Structure 1
Amino acid sequence: MAIPTTKDELLQAIRTNYSKLVSELSDIPIDQTNLLTLPGHTRGTSMSINNLISYLIGWGELVLKWNKKSEDHKQVDFPETAFKWNELGKLAQKFYQDYADINFTTLCTKLDQTVLAIEELIAQKSNMQLYGVPWYEKWTLGRMIQLNTASPYQNAVGRIRKWKKEQKNEQYP
Protein backbone atom coordinates (compact mmCIF):
# COMPACT_ATOMS: atom_id res chain seq x y z
CA MET A 1 0.00 0.00 0.00
CA ALA A 2 1.29 3.47 -0.91
CA ILE A 3 2.13 5.95 1.83
CA PRO A 4 -0.99 8.02 2.53
CA THR A 5 -0.88 11.68 1.50
CA THR A 6 -4.47 12.68 2.32
CA LYS A 7 -6.87 12.34 5.21
CA ASP A 8 -9.00 9.81 3.31
CA GLU A 9 -5.98 7.71 2.36
CA LEU A 10 -4.75 7.75 5.97
CA LEU A 11 -8.11 6.59 7.32
CA GLN A 12 -8.27 3.90 4.62
CA ALA A 13 -4.76 2.65 5.44
CA ILE A 14 -5.55 2.44 9.14
CA ARG A 15 -8.89 0.72 8.57
CA THR A 16 -7.50 -1.75 6.02
CA ASN A 17 -4.46 -2.73 8.05
CA TYR A 18 -6.38 -2.84 11.31
CA SER A 19 -9.07 -5.03 9.78
CA LYS A 20 -6.40 -7.50 8.66
CA LEU A 21 -4.88 -7.44 12.16
CA VAL A 22 -8.24 -8.11 13.83
CA SER A 23 -8.79 -11.02 11.45
CA GLU A 24 -5.41 -12.53 12.32
CA LEU A 25 -6.04 -12.11 16.06
CA SER A 26 -9.52 -13.64 15.88
CA ASP A 27 -8.45 -17.29 15.72
CA ILE A 28 -5.52 -17.30 18.14
CA PRO A 29 -6.22 -19.63 21.06
CA ILE A 30 -6.36 -17.66 24.32
CA ASP A 31 -3.96 -20.08 25.99
CA GLN A 32 -1.25 -19.13 23.47
CA THR A 33 -1.49 -15.35 23.84
CA ASN A 34 0.94 -15.10 26.77
CA LEU A 35 3.60 -17.44 25.37
CA LEU A 36 6.90 -15.69 24.63
CA THR A 37 7.22 -17.19 21.16
CA LEU A 38 7.38 -14.13 18.89
CA PRO A 39 10.63 -12.27 18.18
CA GLY A 40 10.61 -9.17 20.36
CA HIS A 41 11.03 -5.57 19.32
CA THR A 42 14.64 -5.68 20.57
CA ARG A 43 17.12 -8.04 18.99
CA GLY A 44 17.51 -11.24 20.97
CA THR A 45 14.28 -10.86 22.93
CA SER A 46 10.95 -12.63 22.74
CA MET A 47 7.43 -11.40 23.21
CA SER A 48 3.91 -12.73 23.35
CA ILE A 49 0.86 -11.91 21.27
CA ASN A 50 -0.34 -9.90 24.29
CA ASN A 51 2.95 -7.97 24.26
CA LEU A 52 2.47 -7.21 20.57
CA ILE A 53 -1.02 -5.85 21.22
CA SER A 54 0.35 -3.84 24.17
CA TYR A 55 2.97 -2.35 21.86
CA LEU A 56 0.30 -1.26 19.39
CA ILE A 57 -1.82 0.25 22.16
CA GLY A 58 1.22 2.05 23.55
CA TRP A 59 2.06 3.71 20.24
CA GLY A 60 -1.57 4.60 19.62
CA GLU A 61 -1.84 6.18 23.04
CA LEU A 62 1.35 8.15 22.33
CA VAL A 63 -0.14 9.52 19.10
CA LEU A 64 -3.16 10.72 21.08
CA LYS A 65 -0.94 12.15 23.83
CA TRP A 66 1.29 13.99 21.35
CA ASN A 67 -1.71 15.56 19.69
CA LYS A 68 -3.35 16.59 22.97
CA LYS A 69 -0.16 18.22 24.22
CA SER A 70 0.36 19.98 20.90
CA GLU A 71 -3.22 21.28 20.90
CA ASP A 72 -2.72 22.50 24.49
CA HIS A 73 0.49 24.29 23.36
CA LYS A 74 2.58 22.16 25.70
CA GLN A 75 5.98 20.70 24.93
CA VAL A 76 5.83 17.19 23.49
CA ASP A 77 8.60 14.80 24.54
CA PHE A 78 9.25 12.68 21.47
CA PRO A 79 8.95 9.77 21.41
CA GLU A 80 8.02 9.67 25.12
CA THR A 81 9.12 11.31 28.34
CA ALA A 82 12.43 9.75 29.47
CA PHE A 83 12.96 7.93 26.14
CA LYS A 84 14.99 8.89 23.09
CA TRP A 85 14.42 7.73 19.52
CA ASN A 86 17.40 5.36 19.86
CA GLU A 87 15.72 3.68 22.86
CA LEU A 88 12.62 2.30 21.15
CA GLY A 89 13.40 -1.22 22.38
CA LYS A 90 13.22 0.05 25.96
CA LEU A 91 10.00 1.86 25.13
CA ALA A 92 8.55 -1.37 23.76
CA GLN A 93 9.44 -3.08 27.04
CA LYS A 94 7.64 -0.27 28.89
CA PHE A 95 4.51 -0.87 26.80
CA TYR A 96 4.68 -4.61 27.57
CA GLN A 97 4.88 -3.78 31.30
CA ASP A 98 2.12 -1.15 31.16
CA TYR A 99 -0.39 -3.78 30.04
CA ALA A 100 1.15 -6.92 31.52
CA ASP A 101 -1.77 -7.67 33.82
CA ILE A 102 -4.45 -7.34 31.14
CA ASN A 103 -5.85 -10.40 29.37
CA PHE A 104 -6.03 -10.89 25.61
CA THR A 105 -9.72 -10.07 25.24
CA THR A 106 -9.42 -6.85 27.22
CA LEU A 107 -6.27 -5.88 25.31
CA CYS A 108 -8.11 -6.34 22.02
CA THR A 109 -10.96 -4.15 23.29
CA LYS A 110 -8.46 -1.51 24.44
CA LEU A 111 -6.79 -1.56 21.02
CA ASP A 112 -10.20 -1.17 19.34
CA GLN A 113 -10.89 1.88 21.52
CA THR A 114 -7.47 3.37 20.75
CA VAL A 115 -7.95 2.93 17.01
CA LEU A 116 -11.41 4.54 17.21
CA ALA A 117 -9.95 7.50 19.13
CA ILE A 118 -7.26 7.92 16.46
CA GLU A 119 -9.86 7.78 13.70
CA GLU A 120 -11.85 10.46 15.56
CA LEU A 121 -8.72 12.59 15.87
CA ILE A 122 -8.10 12.30 12.12
CA ALA A 123 -11.74 13.10 11.34
CA GLN A 124 -11.37 16.39 13.25
CA LYS A 125 -8.36 17.45 11.19
CA SER A 126 -8.23 18.95 7.73
CA ASN A 127 -5.94 17.75 4.96
CA MET A 128 -3.88 20.90 5.56
CA GLN A 129 -3.47 20.08 9.27
CA LEU A 130 -2.57 16.48 8.49
CA TYR A 131 -0.36 16.89 5.44
CA GLY A 132 0.10 20.57 4.59
CA VAL A 133 2.58 21.65 7.23
CA PRO A 134 5.45 20.06 9.16
CA TRP A 135 4.27 18.93 12.58
CA TYR A 136 7.37 17.32 14.10
CA GLU A 137 10.63 18.35 12.51
CA LYS A 138 10.12 17.51 8.81
CA TRP A 139 7.22 15.10 9.43
CA THR A 140 3.58 15.99 8.96
CA LEU A 141 0.99 14.98 11.54
CA GLY A 142 -0.54 12.57 9.04
CA ARG A 143 2.79 10.88 8.46
CA MET A 144 3.49 10.62 12.21
CA ILE A 145 0.07 9.04 12.72
CA GLN A 146 0.63 6.59 9.86
CA LEU A 147 4.11 5.64 11.11
CA ASN A 148 2.63 4.74 14.49
CA THR A 149 -0.65 3.10 13.45
CA ALA A 150 -1.16 1.74 9.94
CA SER A 151 2.47 0.71 9.47
CA PRO A 152 2.80 -1.14 12.80
CA TYR A 153 -0.56 -2.84 12.19
CA GLN A 154 0.74 -4.11 8.86
CA ASN A 155 3.97 -5.25 10.50
CA ALA A 156 2.01 -7.03 13.24
CA VAL A 157 -0.04 -8.90 10.64
CA GLY A 158 3.18 -10.20 9.09
CA ARG A 159 4.59 -11.18 12.47
CA ILE A 160 1.41 -13.05 13.44
CA ARG A 161 1.14 -14.85 10.11
CA LYS A 162 4.75 -16.01 10.40
CA TRP A 163 4.14 -17.05 14.02
CA LYS A 164 1.02 -19.02 13.05
CA LYS A 165 2.93 -20.84 10.33
CA GLU A 166 5.73 -21.70 12.78
CA GLN A 167 3.20 -22.87 15.38
CA LYS A 168 1.50 -25.08 12.79
CA ASN A 169 4.85 -26.59 11.75
CA GLU A 170 5.76 -27.29 15.39
CA GLN A 171 2.40 -28.93 16.09
CA TYR A 172 2.32 -30.92 12.86
CA PRO A 173 5.90 -31.54 11.68
Structure 2
Amino acid sequence: MREYSGKKELVDTIQKKYQKYISEFATIPENLKEKRVEDVDKTPSENLSYQLGWINLLLQWEKDEQQGKDVKTPAKGYKWNNLGGLYQSFYNQYGSFSLKEQEILLTKSVMELCEWINSLSDKELFEPEQRKWATTKAKWPLWKWIHINTVAPFTNFRIKIRKWKKLTL
Protein backbone atom coordinates (compact mmCIF):
# COMPACT_ATOMS: atom_id res chain seq x y z
CA MET A 1 0.00 0.00 0.00
CA ARG A 2 1.23 3.45 -0.84
CA GLU A 3 2.59 5.66 1.98
CA TYR A 4 2.14 9.45 2.28
CA SER A 5 4.63 12.07 3.43
CA GLY A 6 1.90 14.19 5.00
CA LYS A 7 -1.77 15.09 4.94
CA LYS A 8 -1.33 17.48 2.00
CA GLU A 9 -0.06 14.64 -0.16
CA LEU A 10 -2.96 12.41 0.97
CA VAL A 11 -5.58 15.09 0.25
CA ASP A 12 -3.98 15.97 -3.10
CA THR A 13 -3.95 12.30 -4.10
CA ILE A 14 -7.59 11.80 -3.10
CA GLN A 15 -8.63 14.86 -5.11
CA LYS A 16 -6.57 13.88 -8.16
CA LYS A 17 -7.82 10.27 -8.19
CA TYR A 18 -11.39 11.41 -7.56
CA GLN A 19 -11.35 13.82 -10.50
CA LYS A 20 -10.11 11.08 -12.83
CA TYR A 21 -12.67 8.63 -11.46
CA ILE A 22 -15.70 10.93 -11.61
CA SER A 23 -14.83 12.16 -15.11
CA GLU A 24 -15.55 8.66 -16.40
CA PHE A 25 -19.26 9.14 -15.67
CA ALA A 26 -19.68 12.23 -17.89
CA THR A 27 -20.49 10.21 -21.01
CA ILE A 28 -22.78 7.64 -19.39
CA PRO A 29 -26.44 8.29 -20.23
CA GLU A 30 -28.91 8.18 -17.36
CA ASN A 31 -30.93 5.40 -18.99
CA LEU A 32 -27.91 3.06 -18.67
CA LYS A 33 -27.14 3.72 -15.00
CA GLU A 34 -28.38 0.23 -13.98
CA LYS A 35 -27.01 -1.61 -17.04
CA ARG A 36 -25.18 -4.74 -15.99
CA VAL A 37 -22.47 -6.17 -18.22
CA GLU A 38 -20.50 -9.37 -18.06
CA ASP A 39 -17.05 -9.10 -16.47
CA VAL A 40 -17.91 -5.89 -14.56
CA ASP A 41 -19.30 -6.49 -11.09
CA LYS A 42 -21.10 -3.16 -10.62
CA THR A 43 -23.44 -1.01 -12.66
CA PRO A 44 -22.49 2.68 -12.90
CA SER A 45 -25.02 3.53 -10.19
CA GLU A 46 -23.74 0.75 -7.92
CA ASN A 47 -20.20 1.95 -8.48
CA LEU A 48 -21.07 5.46 -7.28
CA SER A 49 -23.29 4.14 -4.47
CA TYR A 50 -20.46 1.97 -3.16
CA GLN A 51 -18.17 4.99 -2.96
CA LEU A 52 -20.85 7.12 -1.33
CA GLY A 53 -21.48 4.39 1.22
CA TRP A 54 -17.88 3.87 2.30
CA ILE A 55 -16.88 7.52 2.44
CA ASN A 56 -19.98 8.38 4.43
CA LEU A 57 -19.33 5.45 6.78
CA LEU A 58 -15.82 6.79 7.47
CA LEU A 59 -17.25 10.22 8.21
CA GLN A 60 -20.03 8.76 10.37
CA TRP A 61 -17.61 6.65 12.40
CA GLU A 62 -15.65 9.79 13.20
CA LYS A 63 -18.75 11.87 14.03
CA ASP A 64 -20.14 9.13 16.25
CA GLU A 65 -16.89 8.68 18.17
CA GLN A 66 -16.53 12.43 18.65
CA GLN A 67 -20.06 12.45 20.11
CA GLY A 68 -19.10 9.68 22.54
CA LYS A 69 -21.13 7.00 20.80
CA ASP A 70 -20.07 3.36 20.58
CA VAL A 71 -19.11 2.85 16.93
CA LYS A 72 -19.98 -0.49 15.33
CA THR A 73 -17.81 -1.22 12.32
CA PRO A 74 -18.39 -1.73 9.52
CA ALA A 75 -22.00 -0.80 10.41
CA LYS A 76 -24.66 -1.92 12.85
CA GLY A 77 -25.94 -5.33 11.77
CA TYR A 78 -23.04 -6.07 9.40
CA LYS A 79 -19.84 -8.08 9.86
CA TRP A 80 -16.48 -7.63 8.14
CA ASN A 81 -16.58 -11.19 6.83
CA ASN A 82 -19.93 -10.69 5.06
CA LEU A 83 -20.12 -7.30 3.39
CA GLY A 84 -22.55 -8.16 0.59
CA GLY A 85 -25.54 -6.97 2.60
CA LEU A 86 -23.78 -3.72 3.45
CA TYR A 87 -23.06 -3.08 -0.23
CA GLN A 88 -26.71 -3.76 -1.04
CA SER A 89 -27.70 -1.22 1.60
CA PHE A 90 -25.49 1.34 -0.19
CA TYR A 91 -27.20 0.54 -3.51
CA ASN A 92 -30.62 0.87 -1.86
CA GLN A 93 -29.72 4.12 -0.11
CA TYR A 94 -28.20 5.92 -3.10
CA GLY A 95 -29.42 4.04 -6.17
CA SER A 96 -32.66 5.98 -6.51
CA PHE A 97 -30.67 9.13 -7.26
CA SER A 98 -29.70 9.97 -10.83
CA LEU A 99 -26.05 9.58 -11.80
CA LYS A 100 -25.67 13.37 -11.69
CA GLU A 101 -27.22 13.53 -8.21
CA GLN A 102 -24.92 10.73 -7.03
CA GLU A 103 -21.95 12.63 -8.46
CA ILE A 104 -22.99 15.79 -6.59
CA LEU A 105 -23.43 13.83 -3.34
CA LEU A 106 -20.08 12.11 -3.80
CA THR A 107 -18.29 15.37 -4.56
CA LYS A 108 -19.71 16.84 -1.33
CA SER A 109 -18.66 13.76 0.63
CA VAL A 110 -15.12 13.86 -0.78
CA MET A 111 -14.88 17.57 0.10
CA GLU A 112 -16.09 16.85 3.65
CA LEU A 113 -13.59 14.00 3.96
CA CYS A 114 -10.73 16.26 2.83
CA GLU A 115 -11.81 18.93 5.31
CA TRP A 116 -11.79 16.32 8.07
CA ILE A 117 -8.31 15.11 7.05
CA ASN A 118 -7.03 18.68 7.10
CA SER A 119 -8.44 19.12 10.62
CA LEU A 120 -6.47 16.14 11.97
CA SER A 121 -3.05 16.39 13.53
CA ASP A 122 -0.21 14.37 12.01
CA LYS A 123 -0.33 12.13 15.08
CA GLU A 124 -4.06 11.46 14.62
CA LEU A 125 -3.62 10.74 10.92
CA PHE A 126 -0.38 8.76 10.84
CA GLU A 127 -0.09 6.95 14.18
CA PRO A 128 -2.17 3.85 15.01
CA GLU A 129 -4.75 3.61 17.81
CA GLN A 130 -5.88 7.25 17.55
CA ARG A 131 -9.57 6.35 17.26
CA LYS A 132 -11.50 3.49 18.87
CA TRP A 133 -13.23 2.75 15.55
CA ALA A 134 -9.84 2.36 13.82
CA THR A 135 -8.21 0.24 16.52
CA THR A 136 -8.17 -3.30 15.19
CA LYS A 137 -5.70 -6.19 15.24
CA ALA A 138 -4.12 -4.69 12.12
CA LYS A 139 -3.50 -1.41 14.03
CA TRP A 140 -3.95 0.74 10.93
CA PRO A 141 -3.55 4.48 11.31
CA LEU A 142 -6.41 6.62 9.97
CA TRP A 143 -4.65 7.35 6.69
CA LYS A 144 -4.81 3.65 5.73
CA TRP A 145 -8.55 3.52 6.42
CA ILE A 146 -8.95 6.62 4.30
CA HIS A 147 -6.70 5.37 1.49
CA ILE A 148 -8.40 1.97 1.24
CA ASN A 149 -11.81 3.63 0.95
CA THR A 150 -10.89 6.46 -1.44
CA VAL A 151 -7.65 6.35 -3.45
CA ALA A 152 -7.67 2.58 -3.95
CA PRO A 153 -11.26 2.25 -5.22
CA PHE A 154 -11.12 5.50 -7.20
CA THR A 155 -8.18 3.94 -9.05
CA ASN A 156 -9.53 0.38 -9.37
CA PHE A 157 -13.15 1.33 -10.07
CA ARG A 158 -12.06 3.77 -12.76
CA ILE A 159 -10.65 0.78 -14.62
CA LYS A 160 -13.93 -1.09 -14.12
CA ILE A 161 -16.12 1.77 -15.31
CA ARG A 162 -13.88 2.23 -18.37
CA LYS A 163 -14.33 -1.45 -19.15
CA TRP A 164 -18.10 -1.08 -18.64
CA LYS A 165 -18.14 1.83 -21.09
CA LYS A 166 -16.10 -0.09 -23.66
CA LEU A 167 -18.58 -2.98 -23.52
CA THR A 168 -21.69 -0.76 -23.47
CA LEU A 169 -21.25 2.55 -25.30
TM-score range, shorter chain: 0.7 to 0.9
1:5-44 aligned at under 5 Å gives the runs: 6-37=6-37, 39-40=40-41
CA distance in 1, matches of 2:69, 2:58: 15
Which deviates more from structure 2 when the two are superposed, residues 56-65 or residues 23-32? 23-32
The amino acid across from 1:24 in the alignment is E
1:145-164 aligned at under 5 Å gives the runs: 145-164=146-165
The amino acid across from 1:62 in the alignment is L
Aligned length: 162
Which deviates more from structure 2 when the two are superposed, residues 126-135 or residues 112-121? 126-135
**1:116-148 per-position Cα deviation (integer Å, ceiling 9, x unaligned):** 110111111111110123242201111111111
The amino acid across from 1:162 in the alignment is K
The amino acid across from 1:75 in the alignment is D
Match of 2:72 in 1: 77
Q: CA deviation at 1:75?
A: 1.5
Q: Note if contact 1:5-1:142 (Cα within 8 Å) is conserved in structure 2.
A: no
TM-score scaled by length of structure 2: 0.88
CA distance in 1, matches of 2:103, 2:68: 32
Q: Note if contact 2:37-2:167 (Cα within 8 Å) is conserved in structure 1.
A: no
TM-score scaled by length of structure 1: 0.86
The amino acid across from 2:2 in the alignment is A
CA distance in 1, matches of 2:58, 2:11: 15
Match of 2:144 in 1: 143
Please give the root-mean-square deviation of Cα atoms over the aligned residues, in Å. 1.7
**1:28-75 per-position Cα deviation (integer Å, ceiling 9, x unaligned):** 2222212123633xxxxxx32011101100001101001111222321
Matched, 1:94 2:89: yes
CA distance in 1, matches of 2:144, 2:20: 21
Taking only the aligned residue pairs, the percentage that are identical comes to 32
CA distance in 2, matches of 1:143, 1:80: 18
Unaligned residue ranges in structure 2 (runs of 5+): none
Unaligned residue ranges in structure 1 (runs of 5+): 41-46, 169-173
